[in-house]
Amino acid sequence: MVPAGEGWAVETPQGGERAMFSTQEEAIAAGIERAQRERVELLIHGRDGRIRARDSFSRDPYSVKS
């Protein structure tokens, strides 16, 4: 999820599909849904372009089950 003009975009690092949203909250919700579906890591960028948060929705072979 990255800033894009006056809005926000959810995109893949390979330059594939790009979805535009007017608010960061809408983009985050769509990004989480997409990352969960595709089992990938989500990077949330701030308006300055820096990564402000990240979350992984992939299968982690090292995760500990409780």
Domain contains 66: no
Domain encompassing residue 46: 2-56
Q: Cα–Cα distance between 44 and 65 in angstroms, integer? A: 27
Domain contains 63: no
Cβ–Cβ under 8 Å, residues 7 and 19 = no
Query: What pLDDT score does 31 carry?
Result: 93
* Tens digit of each residue's pLDDT, the chain (66 residues): 888 988 999 988 776 788 999 999 999 999 999 999 888 899 999 999 899 999 988 876 665 554
Domains contained in the chain, number: 1
Domain contains 64: no
Helix (H, G, I), strand (E, B) or coil at 29: helix
Query: What pLDDT score does 61 carry?
Result: 60
Whole-prediction pTM value?
0.78
- Quote the radius of gyration of the chain (alpha carbons, Å): 13
Query: What pLDDT score does 13 carry?
Result: 73
